[in-house]
Structure 1
């Protein structure tokens, strides 16, 4: 019988190999405009393709933040895995990060649902973090595996509005998974916090985000 630790390592290795072999992208419609950007981190680069025709407000907001330099010096600080979330909740697996906290965020944007964009939270998809709908500003996350529980209509959140997807990783999922594997379990002031056990002991720096 394989131990839990060994099984976890085997599973992680399989997913890493899959991420390295598969080039991710969404089906591009005829003459559809896309924008390629690169997220430079201390563990390597993550190339992302944005879809401004499907998620115009969300893409414009991300580019606005990027052009303002808000992500330069930011960090990925949250890693959600199978081993650090409450089993009673619908499972999600992702990494989350955002702006340099020394820089003031810009105005929050209206919420564009996955029903509007047609982009589901699948492996490599990038999406905006939020509290209530319409509060997203700079925080974003990248999915590892199927996270359709974050789509419009899901009851994971009481409002059932899901999160705003706007692009997909084309190369660099190996970097995403290295970030996701970082040690977590930073103590929380609120023991009931939904992110308890998911905050990295050593957040991964974002050097810059720029157009390719």
Structure 2
């Protein structure tokens, strides 16, 4: 007999898993090692609290101007679309990256691909129970096999030129809007419009802590339609080929390589 778990409880558990497995230590989160769904279920009250914080925490800034966030105008930006092929265990995953609707988030990802940051990194979090959720990776620490598994999920991209961590603002474009909303969830921004880029199966989005502007290099693949995450996390692209490869990824698998195969000319401020 299969145990039926209320959908609301499942949502709280897995959203908590995503938040606790995200990437920022500097911005007020101490992240632990990847935990099992069973462990997360036993701590669902903590996950519920964290999930509520994630949907209400915001920084008061203008919603659409680059100048409203210090340093934002200097961040990599994708003006249009690009294609990235990520190879895992010898098999390709094709990702269409959407800079039209998420220019900063997409630009950050493509810039990191161009730098080779993702080559050799580990998928440190894979959640398929009690239902398919996400495959998460992108912690630069994971390139070093000597880094303990308990530490993975806490790392961010450090710019070798400045020695500082690059954080990007939460960026979500509501349907019907000309510009994305920055540093706020859609709920906090007071809009009930759905985002243009939604958490459909195969969506690629940025992991973050409960602070909106704490995303850096960690990303995740959505293993199913995850509409309850819409408006809270920044989707920036979709898997167009190789979802079967994504579905086979196991915790500890490494990214062989990630390459831009088209649209690289749309990347601006590369290497900034």
TM-score after normalising by structure 1: 0.63
Gaps of 5+ in 1: 5-31, 84-90, 153-161, 183-199
In 2, Cα distance between equivalents of 1:100 and 1:210: 17
Query: Which is richer in strand?
Result: 1
Q: Measure how far apart 1:74 and its partner are.
A: 0.5
Match of 1:53 among 78, 100, 104: 100
What is aligned with 2:212? 133
2:157 aligned residue: 105
Q: Matches of 2:213 and 2:140 in 1, distance apart?
A: 21
Partner Cα distance (2:84, 2:233) in 1: 21
Q: Is contact 1:122–1:143 with CA below 8 Å preserved after alignment?
A: yes
Aligned length: 146
1:81-134 deviation line (CA, Å, top 9, x unaligned): 233xxxxxxx76111111431587141111102533610111101000000111
Secondary structure, in 3 states, of the residue corresponding to 1:59? helix
Paired position in structure 2 for 1:37: 84
Question: Could you tell me whether the CA contact under 8 Å between 1:71 and 1:98 is conserved in 2?
Answer: yes
Could you list the runs of 4 or more consecutive aligned residues of structure 1 that deviate by over 4 angstroms after TM superposition?
Answer: none
Equivalent position SS for 2:140: coil
Cα distance in 1 for partners of 2:83, 2:228 equals: 26
Structure 2 residue ranges without an equivalent (≥5): 3-78, 145-155, 159-165, 175-179, 181-194, 262-272
Structure 1 counterpart of 2:228, from 149, 168, 191: 149
* Whole-angstrom distance in 2 between the partners of 1:149 and 1:133: 17
